[in-house]
Copies of this chain bind each other. A is one copy, B any other.
Amino acid sequence: MKQRITLKQIANTFNVSIATVSKALKDSHEISNATKLKIQEYAYTHNYRPNSIALSLLNKKTKTIGVIMPSILNPFFVKTFSGIEQVANDKGYNVIAIVSHSKLEKEIASIHMLENGLVDGLLISLSEETEAKQQFNHLKSFIDNAGPIVMFDRVSDSINTDKVIVDDFNCAYKATEHLIKTGCKHIAVVSTLDNVGIIKLRINGYLKALEDYKLPVNKKIINLIKPRYDFETEIKTMLDYQDVDAIIGLEEFSAVESMVIAQDRGYNIPDDISIISFTSSDFFKYTKPSITCINQHSVFMGKTAAEILISKIEQPLGTEDVFETKTIKTTLVERKSTKSLANSY
């Protein structure tokens, strides 16, 4: 690594001022053609490029956004991130990606780091712990000191910002309804998350569907499995001691793992037990049977969130703050882990 060339050095070699060089390189009409030409040529052959950090300091804009997610080893967030990255790059922004590993402390530390002038705005999906403890001061601090925030998927009503969410209530309603219409009556719900707002919404949607179709609720088959519990044991116990003819997995792991456990116990999918999964992984096509799922259009969600954030960053100073909450429509992708509607009527 040799020394990077600066305006100062160019100015020295031609015995002109830094200001002249700066203007010459911007092809300013203030500068004579002769000077411009020799400076531009020199700069080009010496591969001069302006220092972004100096420009950031000057403009108080970094053209960088931060993204904080609870996990990256989760297809939902990977796809969302992919959408964010695409839009950001199209609009000339870099993205700093941080994984909170669902820890509040990590989230706070990361935000404080980004807050010190590193980014122009922030996209965040809250960590479980943040939602559980309802602690949001770090977010408020960011908004006060650094710039706009757009929350996606795991959001909180306590913070007044733009949000992009999935219609979790209706989504769960739709899934439950589909199972009911294909003849299921004892529909279990399985999740490895708990203290998260979206899970509550999903459960409510599920309960509403049961109510509307006049099916009884069995709380023992609403199975929110805490991290310290053994997933397999919980599912086996449920299958052995409760009536279950369908399982809604609230994330991919819950769905696919429940299906495998049920198969191991001799149940036929979908005839004995139907399976629907929230969030759509490409791999659901390849399981046996392939898994019916709810496509949350996560790439699109990421794109939408990034677009909103960047438009907020670039809006003229003094624009009145109007926050919107965008809801991404979901679609049910029917595959082989649920019975077909045609057969049940």
Interface pick from A110-118, A127-135, A235-243: A110-118
Number of this chain's copies in the complex = 2
Is A57 interfacial (CB-CB < 8 Å)?
yes
CA–CA, A21 and B230, complex, Å: 55
Q: How distant is A33 from chain B, measured CB to nearest CB, in Å?
A: 27
Q: Is A286 an interface position by the 8 A CB rule?
A: yes
| Cα distance A53–B115 in the bound complex, in angstroms | 11
Taking the complex as formed, is A11 at the interface, i.e. its CB lies under 8 A from any CB of chain B? Answer: no
Q: What are the interface flags for A197-225 relative to B under an 8 Å C-beta threshold, 1 for contact and 0 otherwise?
A: 00000000000000000000000000000
Task: Give the distance in Å from the alpha carbon of A156 to the alpha carbon of B230 in the complex.
Answer: 45
Complex Cα spacing A180 to B117, Å: 59
Closest to A317 in B: B1
Compute how far the CA of A118 lies from the CA of B55 in the bound complex, rounded to whole angstroms: 11
The total of chain A residues at the interface (CB under 8 A) is: 54
Q: Which of A79-87, A163-171, A181-189, A324-332 contacts B (4 or more CB under 8 A)?
A: A79-87
Beyond A116-B50, A260-B286, is A97–B95 a contact (Cβ under 8 Å)?
A: yes
Cβ < 8 Å to B, chain A residues 102-153: 110, 112-118, 141, 143-148
Q: Which A263-293 residues sit within 8 Å CB-CB of chain B? A: 281, 283, 285-288
Q: Which residues of A contact B (CB under 8 A)?
A: 1-2, 4, 47, 49-54, 56-57, 62, 64, 72-73, 78-79, 81-82, 85-86, 89, 94-99, 110, 112-118, 141, 143-148, 256-257, 259-260, 281, 283, 285-288
Q: List 22 A-B contacts (CB under 8 A).
A: A1-B144, A1-B146, A4-B117, A4-B146, A47-B141, A51-B57, A52-B118, A53-B56, A53-B62, A54-B57, A57-B57, A72-B78, A72-B85, A82-B99, A89-B98, A89-B110, A94-B114, A259-B286, A260-B286, A283-B286, A283-B287, A287-B288
